[in-house]
Amino acid sequence: MILDNIENAPNYFGLNPLFEKAFEYVRGLDVDNLPEGTSEIEGVYLKASAVKIALKSKTETKLETHRKFIDIQIPITREEIFGWKSLKNLKMPTQEYDSQNDFQLFEDEPSTYIRVLPGEFIIFSPEDAHAPLIGEGITRKIILKVAVL
């Protein structure tokens, strides 16, 4: 898991060959007039989704994992809290891994919570279980799905 200010994104371009393209895409967006929806940036390897969604309480969220994609999540309008726990410490899956949607949920409690502010980003690798959308109110955010290469 990586948490940083969006201005420091170039520090992480060496971690995945698609990170630079992902952050270039974000820099080119007019976030104040961003329509909801998903855009392919680099075919199936890099996608961006702009969403407007209600935040939830900690008890309403579940940890999720992905095996094929790295998540880069960027709050636009308000702080978002994420639960986090290491994949190796997960013990209570609620379902089998869904390979088509690259998704699995867990009942385990997060080991920590991280606040992410507008202007910051958080990166979750396949080793990171995360519970997104914790907070109050409606938020707008960008979610980048970056293939593990």
Q: Rounded to whole angstroms, how far apart are CA atoms 63 and 83?
A: 7
> Span 20-37, mean pLDDT?
93
The contacts found for 134-137 with CB under 8 angstroms, 24 or more apart, are 134/55, 134/56, 134/57, 134/58, 134/61, 134/80, 134/81, 134/82, 134/83, 135/55, 135/56, 135/78, 135/79, 135/80, 135/81, 136/55, 137/54, 137/55, 137/78
Q: What residue numbers bound the domain in which 34 lies?
A: 2-147
Q: Is the pLDDT of residue 71 over 90?
A: yes
Condensed to tens digits (0 to 9), the pLDDT of residues 2-13 reads 999 999 999 999
pLDDT of residue 33: 86
CATH of the domain at 33: 2.60.120.370
> Span 47-75, mean pLDDT?
97
Domain count, the chain: 1
Q: Is the pLDDT of residue 31 over 90?
A: no
Q: Rounded to whole angstroms, how far apart are CA atoms 119 and 54?
A: 19
Condensed to tens digits (0 to 9), the pLDDT of residues 125-149 reads 999 999 999 999 999 999 999 999 9
pLDDT of residue 83: 98
